[in-house]
Amino acid sequence: MKSSRFDATVLTLCFAFLYIPIIILVVYSFNASKLVTVWGGFSLQWYRTMWSNEGLMDAAWVTARVGVLSATLGTVLGTLAALSLVRFQKFPGRMLFSGMIYAPLVMPEVITGLSMLLLFVALNIDRGFWTVTIAHTTFTMCYVAIVVQSRLMTFDRSLEEAALDLGCPPVRTFFKITLPLILPAVIAGWMLAFTLSLDDLVIASFNTGPGATTLPIKIYSQVRLGVTPEINAICTILIGFVTIGVILASISTKRTELRRIRDEHVALRGTT
C-alpha cells in the first residue's frame, strides 16, 4: 500500500505544522528564563506575575462577561435564524436574510468592525462594554445559525408532527421536542460563539471604549512590544480552557447521542 504510507506522511507533517507552534508556546510559558531560546528550567513564575498584573486580570474579567453574554444572545438569535432558514422556505426577503447570515462569516473583520462602530456613533451610543457585546453577538449568531442549521436539516420531523397532531401547541412542541433534539448543536454553537468572542481582536478594537479593554486587545498591545513569557502564560491558560471545554462538549454530545439511540431502541421495542 504505497498510497497509505504517503497519506500517513502527509497527515503527520500537516499535524506537526498545526501543533508544534502551539506546543512550543505552552512549553515556554514554564521557562524560568526570560529568553525564548534559552531553557532555564521549569518555573511557574510567569503565572505568578500574570496573576498580579491587574490590567491583564481586569481585561480577562471583561472578556469573560462579554463572551458569556454575547454567546448566549448569539445562540438564541442564531437558533431562531436557523429555524427560519430551514423551516420556512418562503417568506419575504428570505434571500436577503440568508445573505446576511452567510456574509459575516467571510467579511473581513476590519469592515465589520468599522461599519458597526459608525452605526453606534450615528446612534449616539457611547462605546464600551455593551457595544462590544452587541458587535460580538452579531457575528457569532451567524456561526451558531450555520451549526444549528446543519443539525436541523438532518432532523426527523415526524416526532414534531406527531406532537402537533396530538394537539401540542407549536411553541410547546418546540421546547418539548425540537429543542432537546437539537440541543447538542445548540451547545456546540454556544461554545463556538464563546470562543470566537474570546478571540476577537479587530472588531473589539473598533467598538471598545474606556473601561472595556478585552483580553485580546491587552495581549495585542503587549505582543507589539515583543514576546514575553507572561503572555505565553496567559495564552497557555486560554488554550487549556478551550481544550477542556471542547473535550467536555464532545463527550456530552456523544453521551446524549448514545442516550437518544438507546431511547429510540426502547421506544421501538415498546411499539412492536
Partner 1 sequence: MASVSETQAANTPNPARWFVVVVPYLWLLLFFTAPFLIIFKISLSDTAIAMPPYTPVFPGFGAISGYISKLDFENYLFLTEDPLYIKSYLSSLRIAVISTFLLLLIGYPMALAMARAPITLRPTLVMLVILPFWTSFLIRVYAWIGILKPDGLLTLLLQTIGLMGPNEQVLIFRTDIAVFIGIVYSYLPFMVLPLYSALEKMDNTLLEAASDLGCPPWKAFWKITFPLSLPGVIAGSMICFIPITGEFVIPDLLGGADTLMIGKTLWTEFFGNRDWPLASAVAVVLLIMLVVPIMIFQNQQKKVV
Tell me which residues in 54-113 interact with partner 1 (CB under 8 A): 77-78, 80-81, 83-85, 87-88, 91, 93, 96-112
Minimum distance, C-beta of residue 272 to partner 1, in the bound complex (Å): 24
How far apart are alpha carbons 232 and 30 in whole angstroms? 9
Minimum distance, C-beta of residue 89 to partner 1, in the bound complex (Å): 10
Minimum distance, C-beta of residue 47 to partner 1, in the bound complex (Å): 16
How far apart are alpha carbons 183 and 175 in whole angstroms? 10
| 3-class SS shares of the chain: helix, strand, coil, % to 5 | 80, 0, 20
Does 193 bind partner 1 (CB under 8 A)? Our answer is no
How far apart are alpha carbons 272 and 262 in whole angstroms? 16
Backbone φ and ψ of 42, nearest 5°: -75, 135
Q: Which of 68, 65, 30 is closest to 47 using CA atoms?
A: 30
How far apart are alpha carbons 168 and 49 in whole angstroms? 58
Residues 203-262 interacting with partner 1 (rule: CB under 8 A): 205-206, 216, 219-220, 223-224, 227, 231, 235, 238-239, 242-243, 246, 250
Minimum distance, C-beta of residue 248 to partner 1, in the bound complex (Å): 12
Minimum distance, C-beta of residue 263 to partner 1, in the bound complex (Å): 22
Residues 136-175 interacting with partner 1 (rule: CB under 8 A): 137-138, 141, 145, 149, 153, 164-165, 167, 170-171, 174
Does 6 bind partner 1 (CB under 8 A)? Our answer is yes
